[in-house]
Structures are given as C-alpha cells and as structure tokens.
Structure 1
Amino acid sequence: MAENKHQILLDTLDNKPTDQVLAGFWHHYLSDEKKQVLGYRDQAVIDDIVARQQHFYDRYQPDFTKIMSDGFFLHPSVIDNTFETPEDLKKIQRIDANDPWITRQVAAIKAIVDHYKGEIGSFYNIFSPWYQLRLRFEILEQDPKKIYRFLREAPQAIADAFDILADDLIVLSTKLIQQSGIDGIYLCVQQPQDSVISTKTWQQFVQPSEVKLLGAVQDVHDYNMIHICGFEGKRNRLGDYKNYPVKAFHWASYVEEVSLNEGKKLFDGRAVMGGFENTENGVFYKGSKEEIQTETKRLLEENGRQGILISGDCSIPFDTDDAHAAWVSEAANGLNVGN
C-alpha cells in the first residue's frame, strides 16, 4: 500500500478519502484501581505496564492505538492532599515540569510508541480536571458523591482548582506530543451525573478548564480527540461539546443512542470514532467471527467510511480475545472503501 496506517490515521482525522478504514480497541492493564493511581511511584509497575501494552501491539497488530494511562491516572497534588471541605482544594498546586509524574509518564509512553516503529499512530489517555478529582474521591475515598457536594457548595473553588490542573495537563500533554511520539491526546470528559447540578453550573465552572486544555494542546498538534465517557451507562448531552476545539469526537454510541453518522452531523462533519458496544453483552465481546464481521460491515454501510474510525464505546473487558479486534480490521479493510 502506498500509505502506512500512521498516515491513514492522520488523513482520516483530516476527513480525507482513504483506502482503508482503521479500527482500534483497548483495555486497561491493571485491575487494582489504587495501582492505577499510584503505580507511577514504582518503576516495576511502570515497566510491567509498558511491557503489557507492547505485547498487546505484538499480538493484535492494531491499526492505531489509544494508549492507556494505567499507573498515571491522577495528578500528584490531587493524590497527596486531603480534601475535607471545598476550601481544601486550595491545596492543589502546580508541580515542577520535571516531577516524576511527568518525566516517567513521558518515558513510558515513548517506550510504547517506539515499539510501533512508525507503522501506526496513537492517542494517549488523559483525564480532564473534573475526571481527575472525581476519580480521586471515588477510588481513594470510596465517596462518589463528594465532588457533587463540593461543586454545589463552592463552585468557584472547584473552578480555580481545575484551572491549575489544566495548566499542568497542558505541560504534560505538550511534552508527550513533542517527546513521546503520540499524535495527540484522548481527553476523557463526562458531565456531572447528578440532576442537582445544572447545565449552567457545569458550563460556568467545569467546562472552561477543558476548553482551555484542549485549545492549548491543539496549538501544539491538532490531532487531539475528546472522549465523552458513557462508561457503565453514564449519559451526556453530546451537543454541549460541539464547540470544543478538537479534531475528532468519540462517545458511547450505544449508551447515548447516537450513531456515528448522526454524531458526525452534530459535530459539524469532524472525524468520529466508535461503533461497537464495549460491554460483555455486546457482539464485539461475545460474538463469533462471522457476527463481528457482519456488524463491522453494517456499521460502515450505515455510517459511511470517510472520517470514521472504528472502536468500542469505551475500554473493552480485560479478557476480550485479541482476535476479535483483528476480525474487525480484516472486515473493514476488505471492503471497497472508496468514497
């Protein structure tokens, strides 16, 4: 083929006609949530994560990857402080650009990307400031309602903390793009899952940090993607994200009941990714080769092929057979994909 899959990925994101439709699927590598947060402080854990992601590439030979941030989920200032009241959010402060959370992360992702030898492109998972604080309360405190209490009680304190986190995530993302070889970040966002929090509150106190982060990273390299997370059935108002400064959009099409084609129209024709349900109930997890390939062809026939990447709604189950992803790529690439 004239182009390798790396170039095809960039062309797809640019909405150019391509001779292939690319597919990529991903899952976490650490089942221990605390290791997801604290793993970066143990080089053995980092080495294990890198090796697992390299081996995933060797087994599956994906068309592109979304590299997981296992071991590096949360900013150190979010991890190391206690937050009893919203006033405590002032403890969240920027870290040095050479903090191990940044330098070890960049080195780990570079080792993964180098393993691809330029054959494919990749995105890297980054949790938004909102997502970071929410995960801190959920994982380390087992209190999923805490972030909503804080937001109701002191929204400006939340906004100020998120602005600080966005600054450091800009530093991290810039270093990753410039030094590790990724094409862009895959920013995980999610709207508050609490009816007491109004859209206006989210727009005023949460959204600015996400837009600031994405705008700055787009200036570094404009191949970044937003993931509007619908994990475990969470719902979002997709239209609230249409003005985010990103190259491409990914959402849970099964949860939101919005197809790739419908999303492409909603997001002004920009590139989109998704298509397959990511749960154990979906055809991707439990289907036969014939069923999975039939669904692949249906997705492309119904949604078109230009500016489309095929993936799951979100992370797939740990024990999914790697062959399933290969079957999708095989079916997609076997089609006449001219536009």
Structure 2
Amino acid sequence: MSKRQLVSDAFNNRPVERVPVGFWFHFVDGDDFSKGLEYPSVIQKNIEGHIRFYNGFKPDFVKLMSDGFFNYPNPLLADVKDAAVLKSIKPVGGSHPWIRKQVELVKTLTETFGGEVLTFYNIFAPATYFKFLQTSNGNELLGKLIREDSEAVRHALDVIGEDLASLADLLIKEGGADGIYLSVQNIQDPYVNKEKYLDVVAPGELKVLDAANRVSDNNILHICGYEGSRNDLSFYSGYDAKAVNWAVNIEDVSLSEGKRFFNGKAVIGGFANSPGSLIHTGSKNEIESFTKALIADAGTTGIIIGADCTVPNDIRIERLEWVRSAAQIPHEI
C-alpha cells in the first residue's frame, strides 16, 4: 500500500495495515522565521531542510513548514496601540509576493515528493499572525482591543483571513498541496471567552478553513498548545476538518477521548513535544512501549501517531522510526 493511500485510509476511518506516523519540526530559527521575502536564502534553507528530512525518514506524510513567512505583510498591524487603526485594514491580495512565494515553495516541495506522500501546508490562524506582529503580549493586546472595539478586531482578523483563504486556495490548486494544516489557539486572555471568541475570532479562521475545504477534502485542524498554552477544545467542535491534532499532554484529553469529542474524526498526536520529553530523550524501549499503549487505548482506525506540536529540531530521526516500527499492527497467521 502506498503511503498516500495509508494516510488517506486513516483520515477516512478505514482499516489500515499499520498505524501511520507523523512528526515535524522547523528548519530555520530566530529572525529567519519572518525573513523569507527579504532573504531568498531562508526559503532555500527551508526547502533543503524538508528534502533532507524526507530522504532521511521517508515520512508517512509531510507537514510543509511555513518557515520564513511568519510575518503577515501589513505594516498597519505592527505594534497596534488602539483599535481605531484596525478599521482601515485591507487585504494584500493573492498576487502579493508573500502569498506567491509560499505557493512557489509548496510547488517546489510537492514536485519533489508529493507524488509519494500527502502534503499539508502550515497556515496560522489570523489572530496568530496578528500576535506575531506585536512587540507586546499579543494575547493581552487582543483582549484589550476586543474590549475597546470588537467590531474593529473582527474586521482586521477577517481581512487577514481573506488573504489566508486566497493562500489556501492557491497552495492546493497551484502548489499541489493536498490540504492545509490550520493552526488555531484560544486567545490566552480571560476576557476572550467562548462567546467572544466565536463572535470575533472564529469568523476569520472559518473563512480560511472553508476556502481550503472547497478545493480539498483533506485539511487538518491543529489546536495549538505551544509552550503550555491551554485551549478549550469545545471552541472548535463545529470546525469542519478531516483530522484534528491537539496538545494531548497539555489538555489531558487522550486520543480516544478526543476522537469521541470530535464525532469520530481522524485524530493525530499522543506524544508530548517539548525539549526533554519522551520522544526527544526517552529510550527505545520507552518510546516503543508508549506507542503501543497509545494504540491499545485509541485503536487502529482513524488514528495517526504524532506529537502535541512541533518537536525539537535536533531530534534524532531514529527516534521517529522507533515509533513507526512500534505502530505495526499484528496480523494473525
């Protein structure tokens, strides 16, 4: 069975010959996360990192990293002081280099290995791109701005979402990606409860996901627990994605529990991802035993073994192979 078929079967809750495995990490660091437009060498480093990882691990599928493109290119959104400026925000448009260069990146990678594995491009939620542009605490700032003028914030996030919807459409139709990996996160401010989130933040996110769903049936929702951020998973119960990945070890919601919560959708994860965690430093026996325990609890249908989020980029590839070897399904003779 091809790896494309293997992962497709897992996504669609069909029987599999083995449980697929998916891990990913970044290929640049520091300021390079936002320097792709200024320095082509950053994009090239990202491309070379993907190819090196692919050749070294032969993954079951590939999450294509958006390293180099973390800064949404609208200077009006940088260091926002009050909500008034948000009312004048307009989309940059699908022809902007920030979008076109990402499509080119994806096309280069899918032409290299996309015929062998499914590929999913990372797109952050509009609120996350907004937070990346702030020097102050982006979560606290969003809480403040929503208190000040929720309609202005909704407008700004919707505009970012419009550009991200264009990006999603082009990545799949022109870039050859099989879908997107949409990274969302609760606003880490107590004022932005579920009601306010669904009113102000969710519309922009759903615009991106809807655009991706119009051109692909295979899109992943990632509920990001980066650096311990907590998420109420119920915020996303109505999001229409083929598979869901969340921070199992932060939310204390197992793969089996999450699969039930998300109405039987395929689920991805199981391992903690932080430096020093089991996947990063554990022994071969510990990693294999943990993998088998995940499968014993969650079953083999609609399950992909992975991590809460991005794993450390100094991880030894053999550790990921230990997981894949342990994810084999015993067959009776």
Asked whether the two chains share a fold, i.e. TM above 0.5, the reply is yes
- What is the aligned partner in structure 2 of residue 42 from structure 1? 39
- How far residue 267 of structure 1 moved from its aligned partner, in angstroms, is 0.4
Give, in whole Å, the separation in 2 of the partners of 1:165 and 1:117.
28
Cα 1:250–1:135 change in 2 (3 A) is same
- What is the aligned partner in structure 2 of residue 26 from structure 1? 24
- How far residue 198 of structure 1 moved from its aligned partner, in angstroms, is 2.4
Give, in whole Å, the separation in 1 of the partners of 2:192 and 2:302.
34
Alignment partner of 2:269: what SS?
strand
- What is the aligned partner in structure 1 of residue 330 from structure 2? 336
Q: Of 121, 129, 134, which aligns to 2:131?
A: 134
Q: Is the 8 A contact 2:271 2:306 kept in 1?
A: yes
Q: Is the 8 A contact 1:227 1:249 kept in 2?
A: yes
Give, in whole Å, the separation in 2 of the partners of 1:78 and 1:306.
46
- How far residue 320 of structure 1 moved from its aligned partner, in angstroms, is 1.1
Q: Does residue 287 of structure 1 match 2:282?
A: yes
Q: Is the 8 A contact 1:62 1:326 kept in 2?
A: no
- Extract unaligned runs of 5+ from structure 2: none
- What is the aligned partner in structure 2 of residue 146 from structure 1? 141
Alignment partner of 1:188: what SS?
strand
- How far residue 81 of structure 1 moved from its aligned partner, in angstroms, is 5.0
Q: Is the 8 A contact 1:9 1:121 kept in 2?
A: yes
Alignment partner of 1:124: what SS?
strand
- How far residue 148 of structure 1 moved from its aligned partner, in angstroms, is 2.1
- How far residue 78 of structure 1 moved from its aligned partner, in angstroms, is 5.5
Q: Of 292, 296, 320, which aligns to 1:297?
A: 292
Q: How do 1:166-181 and structure 2 match up within 5 A?
A: 166-181=161-176
Cα 1:97–1:214 change in 2 (3 A) is same
Q: How do 1:83-102 and structure 2 match up within 5 A?
A: 83-102=80-99
Aligned residues: 331
Query: How many percent of aligned residue pairs carry the same amino acid?
Result: 37
Q: Is the 8 A contact 1:305 1:337 kept in 2?
A: no
Provide, for residues 120-166 of structure 1, a one-character-per-residue CA deviation record: whole Å limited to 9, x for no partner: 112111011111111221xxx14333222212211111100111111
Give, in whole Å, the separation in 2 of the partners of 1:48 and 1:92.
32
Give, in whole Å, the separation in 2 of the partners of 1:154 and 1:30.
36
Q: How do 1:1-339 and structure 2 match up within 5 A?
A: 3-32=1-30, 34-77=31-74, 83-116=80-113, 118-137=115-134, 141-144=135-138, 145-332=140-327, 334-336=328-330
- Extract unaligned runs of 5+ from structure 1: none
Give, in whole Å, the separation in 2 of the partners of 1:275 and 1:336.
20
Alignment partner of 1:249: what SS?
strand
Cα 1:337–1:252 change in 2 (3 A) is farther
Q: Is the 8 A contact 2:77 2:130 kept in 1?
A: no
More deviation, 315-324/111-120: 111-120
More deviation, 77-86/112-121: 77-86
Q: Is the 8 A contact 2:76 2:85 kept in 1?
A: no
Give, in whole Å, the separation in 2 of the partners of 1:56 and 1:185.
19
Give, in whole Å, the separation in 1 of the partners of 2:266 and 2:75.
33
What letter matches 2:91 in structure 1?
Answer: R
Provide, for residues 247-271 of structure 1, a one-character-per-residue CA deviation record: whole Å limited to 9, x for no partner: 1111000000000010000000011
Give, in whole Å, the separation in 2 of the partners of 1:51 and 1:281.
26
Q: Is the 8 A contact 1:64 1:121 kept in 2?
A: yes
Q: Is the 8 A contact 2:106 2:175 kept in 1?
A: yes
More deviation, 76-85/23-32: 76-85
Runs of 4+ with deviation above 4 angstroms: 78-82
More deviation, 146-155/202-211: 146-155
What letter matches 1:291 in structure 2?
Answer: E
What letter matches 2:6 in structure 1?
Answer: I
- How far residue 175 of structure 1 moved from its aligned partner, in angstroms, is 0.7
Using structure 1 for the length normalisation, give the TM-score.
Answer: 0.93
Give, in whole Å, the separation in 1 of the partners of 2:207 and 2:100.
23
Q: Is the 8 A contact 2:72 2:130 kept in 1?
A: no
Give, in whole Å, the separation in 1 of the partners of 2:77 and 2:200.
23
Give, in whole Å, the separation in 2 of the partners of 1:312 and 1:337.
26
Using structure 2 for the length normalisation, give the TM-score.
Answer: 0.95
